[in-house]
Amino acid sequence: MKTLKISRLRYAIALALAATVGDAAAASGSFTFVTGEVSVTKANGQRVTAQRGTEVDPGDSITTGASGMAQLTMIDQARLSLRPNTQFRIEGYQRSADSSEGAVLSLVRGTLRAFTGLIASSNRDKFVMKTRVATVGIRGSGNILYACRADECDKSVTGLGQGNDQDFTVNHTIEGSHAVTNVVDAAAGLPPQQGGAQTLITGPGQTVMIQGAQAPRYVPTPTFISDTATNPTGAAKTAATASDAAATRDFAPGDNQQLSASQQASSTPVGNNGLGFVTIDASNNLLSDPIGLNDVIISTGGPFLGQAVPASIRLEGNTAALRGYTAYSGTQSNLSPDIAGGTLREMHTVNVATGLTVILGRWEGASLSFSGIGGGPTAGNIHWAYASSGYPTYLSDVLTGTATYTLAQATAPTNQNNTTGTVGTATMNVNFTNRTLGVTISVSMPAAGANAGGTWGATASDVPFSLNTFFATTADRLRVSNGSTQSGSGQLLSGAIEGSFVGANLQGAIIGYGIADFTASNPANHNQINGVLLLTGPAQNGAATYREGRVSDPSGYLANSGFSRNFSTTNRPEEVIAGANGAVTQFTAPLFAGVGSRATYALGTAQVVQSGFDAETGLVWGRWGNGVATVTGNGQTQPINLQSASLHYIFAGPQQGPVTLPLTGTGVYDVIGNTSPTDSAGHVGTFGSATLDANFTNRTASATVNVTVNGQNWIGTAPNMPIYRDQYFSATTGSTVPGIPNLSPLGIACTPSCVGATGSFDGFFTGRSGQRAGLMYNMGGVQGGVAFGRRGG
């Protein structure tokens, strides 16, 4: 039923899209991206130069030159990408979204990348691709088809054949499956053993080759297939990347110099992705969080937030009362809080929305330990709350507009004497556009014994949030008042809040708070107050489009960080500005080392000295240098001197919906591009190799990077990095939590020597199932970016 509903929805969308372009029968498709030499010869013989928006019809032939590349979006939302030196003919294609004509595509020579649309999904027999020696039936949605004449074939293809005096066809399946059949002169219906046609069925990652009239056979995927997918202009490899692909696993030149002026189109960026490719639709991944992650707040003395999968949450007997948890490995915190003993004084179960149940409560007279550390009696109550983590994990970073969250439930606030009070008000106003929020809380404690009680107000303003979480203290954006004294006039009145958006579409928020008031001259009137809150608000748009990214730290603001040495950022599409060749000239990212702060980075007088992109997904990478860039945030603009340093970047293409990795198995990722490594002294080095392997069963990734700068060879090794929520991975040389072992250590080795070098790997997966990945590395100040593609798509 669910699949049927999705198919109907896709069909309805296609009809709506067709209706927006006027006469639905006007054309079978149009160009959505063009670069270099691309021409269309119409059925009547007229030849036109292709540009974005040029329509195509049955009978049209399309030719790309040595620097030409194009993508078409067809009436049924199929996407066809043509690589350099390709000749392609549309023999037949329906002209309306509800037609039953089907499609016949003929590849004369060159490379075609296809992701089919509604024609193939509704009737796969009606979508056929042909070459001189093969026909390809569609049983799935994605493939790379290559055809060549005997004297034109890439050596990586002819090397797999038997002689080189015949035409070749190679089909590589990315998604689904394909039926590849050889073309023979025998009578139709003749069995293969009598010279008739033979068919092989391929699955994801499999490649089939046909040579002349020979039968199809499985072959290793030629490096040419990956190379053409990531080197669309056909640029020659530089000396640094011309080494044997099998030895380095580099299937594409990553250290390309800036494109020549003739190849740098000056057209306005399309959709601010610079490439004009359609947004990756991963909205089906919004249906559920594949790991069912929970956010957990514990507040005693001060609040702290953790995450755990359901199986790692410890409860009291057969109840839902929290006793502790083992932190989700993806957080790399390695913490295991335990609540022991005490009396359960309060527990609430609140059903906020479908799939979102929040449970909160408090223990009195209990003790709290962390991974076996501590465990003594705790003054006052231990408050707690847990709920399904906000999903998708990046959602808060890319939404726009405002929302108000109001109090739905709370534990009774308590002080160190176990006196219980009341929550007066609690409100959270969120400005998603600015990525900030404000929180207002008021609590009252009655007089009890020698303690006179009182009323306190806590107000946090312009609190930044990231990955659905936030915190504030009186050292930064939180202000606490007891009616006569304001925090900030000393350290006798202080406080903290920490919380997260919870549930699919962020329909709730859980917040822990702590207030410490030592302003009274009589110690009997001192108060340490804690509690947890549940606030609810409107459902947000889980399908908001985003672009994941990593940026290097050329100014060394993170040099003393024990954590990441690179900036991680999740942007709205319009916040990444790129030219038509994918070279990024402006983006937003964290501001210096400020937690949650963001700024706009602009190229200024600097230059994009390197750039590259993955034509399939819109993944882009590059390096700024030779000038002064600017960063604007918090009302001020500051220069970034790139005369003797470089800023490296890597951004995923626009995507709707999170990445959902395969549940089991492994994946091997090959280098499809990179920037040249640089150091803080201005030296530009050479990229040697990099690897990335994923263990989907264990949800870990292992990576290595080998580079040379200024005569020094650097090798970074990060085995078994936990993958956070199917999208993010990282490794660092330090310990993420002092005294707690590092779950994801980065090893750095150098020749001749680099004793004590620190750094980090910071990466992400992108695409519906993580077909691509980006990695930013920093090893002792040597920085660079690497783009990866998964073998088999």
Residues 6+ apart with CB under 8 A from 289: 388, 389, 391, 504, 725
Distance CA 630, CA 687 (A): 27
What is the pLDDT at residue 582?
Answer: 82
The pLDDT of residue 278 is 65
Position 218 pLDDT exceeds 80: no
- pLDDT tens by residue, 469-506: 999 988 889 999 999 998 875 568 989 999 999 999 99
Q: pLDDT (tens digit, 9 = 90+) per residue, 736-763? A: 444 455 667 899 999 988 877 889 999 9
All residues at 6 or more sequence positions from 202 whose CB lies less than 8 Å from its CB, including other chains: 171, 173, 177, 178, 180, 208, 218
Structure-model confidence comparison of residues 595 and 661, the more confident one: 661
- 3-class SS of residue 284: helix
Give the CA distances from residue 415 to residues 419, 453, 475, 480, 529, in Å, rounded to whole numbers and listed in that order: 6, 10, 22, 16, 4
Q: Which residue is listed with tokens 């250290």?
A: 255
Q: Report how far residue 497's alpha carbon sits from residue 513's, in angstroms, rounded to the nearest whole number.
A: 4
Q: Which one-letter DSSP state was computed for residue 158?
A: H
DSSP string, 249-266: -B-S---PBPPPGGG---
Q: What is the pLDDT of residue 657?
A: 93
User: What does the pLDDT look like over 2-41, one tens digit per residue?
Assistant: 333 323 233 332 333 333 333 334 588 888 888 889 999 9
Distance CA 512, CA 441 (A): 11
% residues pLDDT > 70 (the chain): 79
269-296 pLDDT, tens per residue?
333 444 455 688 888 888 788 889 999 9
Q: Can you spell out the DSSP letters for 186-223? A: SPTT--GGGT---EEEE-TT-EEEEETTSPPEE-PPPH
pLDDT of 271: 37
With beta carbons less than 8 A apart as the criterion, state whether 70 and 90 touch. no
Residues in the chain: 793
Residues 566-595, mean pLDDT to the nearest whole number: 84
What pLDDT is stored for residue 126 in this prediction? 66
- Measured between alpha carbons, how far is 689 from 212 in angstroms, rounded to an integer? 37
Coil, helix or strand at residue 3: helix
CB atoms within 10 A of CB 729: 27
Q: What is the pLDDT of residues 116-174, one digit of tens each?
A: 665 555 555 667 889 988 988 875 567 889 998 877 887 777 766 666 668 889 988 77
pLDDT tens, 310-369? 999 999 999 999 999 998 888 766 678 899 999 999 999 999 998 899 999 999 999 988
pLDDT of residue 205: 66
Instruction: Give the single-character DSSP code of 7.
Output: H
Query: Can you tell me the mean pLDDT for 646-671?
Result: 94
* pLDDT tens by residue, 414-458: 999 999 999 999 999 999 999 999 999 999 999 999 999 999 999
- Whether residue 594 is predicted with pLDDT greater than 80 in this model: the reply is no
Closest to 737 measured CA to CA, from 460, 281, 331: 331
Report pLDDT for 617. Answer: 87
Tokens of 436: 């900030």
Domains of the chain are 2-235 (2.60.120.1440), 292-536 (no CATH), 545-790 (no CATH)
Task: Kindly report the number of other CB atoms within 10 A of residue 101's CB atom.
Answer: 14
CA distance 150 to 430: 63
pLDDT value at position 680? 86
pLDDT of residue 80: 87
Q: Partners of 386 in the beta sheet?
A: 296, 359
Phi, psi of 383 (to 5 degrees): -95, 150
Tokens of 220: 């290793």
Place of tokens 């640094």: 240
d(C-alpha 508, C-alpha 535), whole Å: 6
Question: Is the confidence at residue 248, as pLDDT, over 60?
Answer: no
- Is this model's pTM higher than 0.95 or not? no
**Angstrom distances, CA of residue 291 to CA of 307, 329, 352, 358, 464:** 12, 12, 20, 17, 26
What is the band of 98 on the pLDDT scale with cuts at 50, 70, 90? low
Bond preceding residue 392 cis, omega within 30 of 0: yes
Does position 209 have pLDDT exceeding 50, yes or no?
Answer: yes
Retrieve residue 376's tokens.
Answer: 């003594």
pLDDT at residue 559, as a whole number: 67
Query: CB count, 10 Å around CB of 317?
Result: 7
**Per-residue pLDDT for 540 more than 90?**
yes
Q: List the structure tokens of 519.
A: 């302003």
Tell me what pLDDT residue 75 has: 78
Q: Which residues pair with 170 in a beta bridge?
A: 146, 209
More confident residue, 190 or 613: 613
